[in-house]
Amino acid sequence: MYDLATAALDTARIRGASYADVRVMHLRQRDLTTKNGEVGTLAQSESIGLGIRVLANGAWGFASTDRLTREGVAACAAQAVSIAKASALAKREDVVMAREDAYVDSWQSPFRKDPFEIPLETQLALLLAADAEMRRVKGVTLTETDMQFRKIDSWFASSIGSRIHQRKVITGCGIVATSFQGDEIQKRSYPNSFGGQHALQGYELVESLDFLKHAPMVAEEAVALHSAAQCPQKAGTLILGGSQLGLQIHESIGHPIELDRVLGQEANFAGTSFLTLDQLNNLRYASDIVNVVADARLDHGQGLGTFAYDDEGVPAQCTDIIKAGQFRGYLSNRETAHLVGLKRSSGTMRTESWNRLPIIRMTNVSLLPGTWTFADLLSDTDDGILMETNRSWSIDDRRYQFQFSTEIAWEIKGGKRVRMLKNPSYSGITTEFWNSCDAICKREDWTLWGTPNCGKGQPMQTMGTGHGASPSRFRNVRIGAAFSKQ
């Protein structure tokens, strides 16, 4: 693979590129789903190709190909340089890249069981068994299960001398029970909604979640929600479970800190950002117990935003985003780092595939653990509502005003859960919400949740990000009842 990458780099240099980097990527994926005891999806595919990014006359050009011959690669590199030179005719200023060292390395994400070595029959049998357990519960209308596996090999080479091979194995899985009664729909998901949990792990993730044990509870709660009281509408105390808080982090912290959005270079799908450059080191983003990092290192966990090097060949790093409540950092790349006073990129450039240009993406944007046990957090809450598992979300194009709903909630009275609530929702303004946080649970309740479906760019790229969170409490939040009858 490096021979092809070197040939592309040589062609780019001869054609006039001042800098070039190449990614050869081999992607394998397997998807399995069931619905009401029947197989829904059973698919396996693979893709291999090369993408080259060049800098010529102070502007970028990109081209890709699946013709992995010397001729095909040379033609691709020549096209990338031609695009860069055409782009230079409309440039406002030359691209300036932060310095980076050259690296020669190979890295593989840790896993115990390769999911592609587990027979399809074994994987499908587990899903069908979990599906059957949910269907045993009277009142369940629809049962769904899924498994997703990815194996990604990438070979990166750059004109500064880097040669980096990385292999990542990704696993995702989940189960869902839905109950229709009259004109009302209730659902429960495990271990999370929208595909379950996803991580940089092997088949051991599936085994650790014990679907057969949890399937009956998932189904029973979906049915029980029809008889639950409506979530009240009020301003009050809110406790968010870790998975819901992970999505809150994604939408109201992760997206607004992407520096290309801040600069107006990218606005597709998620819009721009309220975090203008003058806010850095000046904005009180959250209460002083809130600490958020963007951490791609394996030490942080096996998240969907974990790697050894990004797609510019920059090593994985930990960047302070919010420290003791103060806004401290953006997600940057080699081109934008100098705009916020950085001498090097924060290492956040990633691409979905060989035929996509790398762009700034979230790594693992996580809320660091606090000092509370979950039991103490509940017992310290005299009157509040605990919400878990996302159902829907909405946030404006500057990531400032939001509304979220969850699948289930529990009313807290006198430090104890007293009843289940249905159709819960909450809304707020990003900085007001995070400044109202007064309790965060410890490491024992902290999970690095995977968000596999973050869309960005045009043409769109769907990437996985990680969000570590533990249950946390927020005061004076607007709480309401979503989907309720008028």
pLDDT value at residue 486: 39
Last residue of a domain, one of 206, 227, 248: 227
Question: 116 vs 19, 28, 119, 353, 358, CA distance in Å?
Answer: 37, 9, 7, 20, 27
How many other CB atoms sit within 10 Å of the CB of residue 139?
A: 15
pLDDT value at residue 350: 98
Last residue of a domain, one of 180, 211, 227: 227
In a domain, 219, yes or no: yes
Is 367 buried (19+), middle (13-18) or exposed (0-12) by CB count in 10 A?
buried
pLDDT value at residue 395: 94
> Which pTM was predicted?
0.96
The whole-angstrom separation of Cα 113 and Cα 236 is 46
In a domain, 381, yes or no: yes
In a domain, 149, yes or no: yes
In a domain, 331, yes or no: yes
Length of the chain: 486
Q: pLDDT tens per residue, the chain (486 residues)?
A: 889 999 999 999 999 999 999 999 999 999 999 999 999 999 999 999 999 999 999 999 999 999 999 999 999 999 999 999 999 999 999 999 999 999 999 999 999 999 999 999 999 999 999 999 999 999 999 999 999 999 999 999 999 999 999 999 999 999 999 999 999 999 999 999 999 999 999 999 999 999 999 999 999 999 999 999 999 999 999 999 999 999 999 999 999 999 999 998 888 777 899 999 999 999 999 999 999 999 999 999 999 999 999 999 999 999 999 999 999 999 999 999 999 999 999 999 999 999 999 999 999 999 999 999 999 999 999 999 999 999 999 999 999 999 999 999 999 999 999 999 999 999 999 999 999 999 999 999 999 999 999 999 888 999 999 999 999 999 999 999 665 543
pLDDT value at residue 269: 72
Q: What is the pLDDT of residues 203-261, one digit of tens each?
A: 999 999 999 999 999 999 999 999 999 999 999 999 999 999 999 999 999 999 999 99
How many other CB atoms sit within 10 Å of the CB of residue 151?
A: 20
Angle between helices 70-88 and 2-14 (to 10 degrees): 40
In a domain, 387, yes or no: yes
In a domain, 486, yes or no: no
User: Half-sphere exposure of residue 404, counting CA atoms within 13 Å on the CB side?
Assistant: 27
Is 486 buried (19+), middle (13-18) or exposed (0-12) by CB count in 10 A?
exposed
Please check whether residues 217 and 101 belong to one and the same domain: yes
Please check whether residues 259 and 332 belong to one and the same domain: yes
The whole-angstrom separation of Cα 177 and Cα 170 is 24
pLDDT value at residue 485: 47
Contact by Cβ (8 Å): 231, 410: no
Contacts of 231 (CB under 8 A, 6+ apart): 385, 409, 421, 422, 423, 424, 425, 479, 480, 481, 482
pLDDT value at residue 1: 83
- Where would I find the beta strands (DSSP E) of 159-281? 163-181, 184-190, 197-199, 229-230, 234-240
Contact by Cβ (8 Å): 483, 254: no
Q: What are phi and psi of 377, to 5 degrees?
A: -60, -45
Strand partners of residue 383: 413
Please check whether residues 217 and 94 belong to one and the same domain: yes
Please check whether residues 422 and 320 belong to one and the same domain: yes
Please check whether residues 241 and 202 belong to one and the same domain: no
pLDDT value at residue 483: 57
Structural domain range at position 172:
2-227
Please check whether residues 334 and 429 belong to one and the same domain: yes
The whole-angstrom separation of Cα 480 and Cα 423 is 8
Of the candidates 257, 250, 253, 249, the one whose C-alpha atom is nearest the C-alpha of residue 276 is 257
Please check whether residues 377 and 258 belong to one and the same domain: yes
Q: What is the pLDDT of residues 283-307, one digit of tens each?
A: 999 999 999 999 999 999 999 999 9
CATH number at residue 78: 3.30.2290.10
Please check whether residues 118 and 249 belong to one and the same domain: no
The whole-angstrom separation of Cα 41 and Cα 151 is 19
In a domain, 192, yes or no: yes
Of the candidates 343, 339, 373, the one whose C-alpha atom is nearest the C-alpha of residue 441 is 373
Please check whether residues 353 and 476 belong to one and the same domain: yes
Last residue of a domain, one of 174, 196, 227: 227
Which residue shows structure tokens 């044990």? 213
Please check whether residues 235 and 222 belong to one and the same domain: no
How many other CB atoms sit within 10 Å of the CB of residue 348?
A: 31
pLDDT value at residue 271: 83
Which residue shows structure tokens 């809150």? 248
3-state SS assignment for residue 199 = strand
In a domain, 292, yes or no: yes
Split into its structural domains, the chain has a count of 2
Please check whether residues 203 and 252 belong to one and the same domain: no
Instruction: Characterize the bridge pairing of strands 461-469 and 447-456.
Output: antiparallel
Please check whether residues 222 and 235 belong to one and the same domain: no
The whole-angstrom separation of Cα 220 and Cα 32 is 24
Q: What is the pLDDT of residues 1-23, one digit of tens each?
A: 889 999 999 999 999 999 999 99
